[in-house]
Amino acid sequence: MMMTILILLLSITSQQSPVPRSTSASPTNAAQDNRQKTEHEQKPTKPPSSLVNSETQSPATDPRHNEKRNTNEQPQNVRITEFPAVSVTRDKIDWSLWFFSALLAVVSILQWRVLSRQATIAKNQEAQMIEAGAKTERIIAQMKETTVRQLRAYLGVSKIILALEDQTLPVAIAEVQNFGNTPAQAVRQWIAIAIHAYPVESLPESTNPQNASVSTIFPGIKNVSRAALKIRLPSSTLLGTPQGTIYVYGRITYEDVFKNERYTNFRFLFGGPEPGVAYRDDGGKLRGAMRPDCIGNDST
pLDDT in tens, 283-299: 899 999 999 999 999 99
Ranges 10-14, 178-182, 208-212, most confident = 178-182
pLDDT digit string, tens, across residues 84-136: 555 555 555 567 778 778 888 888 888 888 888 889 999 898 898 998 999 89
Which residues, including other chains, have CB under 8 Å from residue 60's CB and lie 6 or more apart?
Answer: 19, 33, 36, 37, 40, 66
Contact 293, 268 (CB under 8 A): yes
Rounded CA-CA distance 234/231 in Å is 10
Tell me what the pLDDT averaged over the chain comes to: 78
Q: What is the pLDDT of residue 111?
A: 84
Contact 7, 47 (CB under 8 A): no
What residues pair up with 137 in beta bridges, in sequence order? none
What CATH code is assigned to 155-299?
2.60.40
Q: What is the pLDDT of residue 237?
A: 85
Confidence tier at 179 by pLDDT (50, 70, 90): very high
- Where are the chain's structural domains? 26-41+57-81, 91-151, 155-299
3-state secondary structure the chain: CHHHHHHHHHHHHHHHCCCCCCCCCCHHHHHHHHHHHHHHHHCCCCCCHHHHCCCCCCCCCCHHHHHHHHHHCCCCCCCCCCCCCCCCHHHHHHHHHHHHHHHHHHHHHHHHHHHHHHHHHHHHHHHHHHHHHHHHHHHHHHHHHHHHHHHCCCEEEEEEEEECCCCCCCEEEEEEEECCCCCEEEEEEEEEEEEECCCCCCCCCCCCHHHCEEEEECCCCEEEEEEECCCCCCCCCCCCCCCCEEEEEEEEEEECCCCCEEEEEEEEEECCCCCCCEEECCCCCEEECCEECCCCCEEC
- What is the mean predicted confidence (pLDDT) over 182-200? 92
pLDDT digit string, tens, across residues 3-25: 555 565 555 555 544 544 544 44
Higher local confidence (pLDDT), 71 or 264 = 264
Q: What is the pLDDT of residue 205?
A: 81
Contact 267, 199 (CB under 8 A): no
- What is the mean predicted confidence (pLDDT) over 167-186? 94
pLDDT surpasses 70 at 35: no
pLDDT digit string, tens, across residues 222-248: 999 999 988 888 888 889 999 999 999
Q: What is the pLDDT of residue 6?
A: 53
Q: What is the pLDDT of residue 98?
A: 81
pLDDT digit string, tens, across residues 145-168: 888 889 999 999 999 999 999 989
pLDDT surpasses 80 at 273: yes
pTM of the model: 0.57
Contact 163, 287 (CB under 8 A): yes
Residue 160, number of CB atoms within 10 A of its CB: 23
Q: What is the pLDDT of residue 52?
A: 44
pLDDT digit string, tens, across residues 37-52: 555 555 555 545 444 4
pLDDT surpasses 70 at 182: yes
Residue 214 C-alpha from the chain's centroid: 52
Q: What is the pLDDT of residue 55?
A: 46
Q: What is the pLDDT of residue 231?
A: 87
Higher local confidence (pLDDT), 182 or 88 = 182
Rounded CA-CA distance 205/177 in Å is 22
Q: What is the pLDDT of residue 249?
A: 95
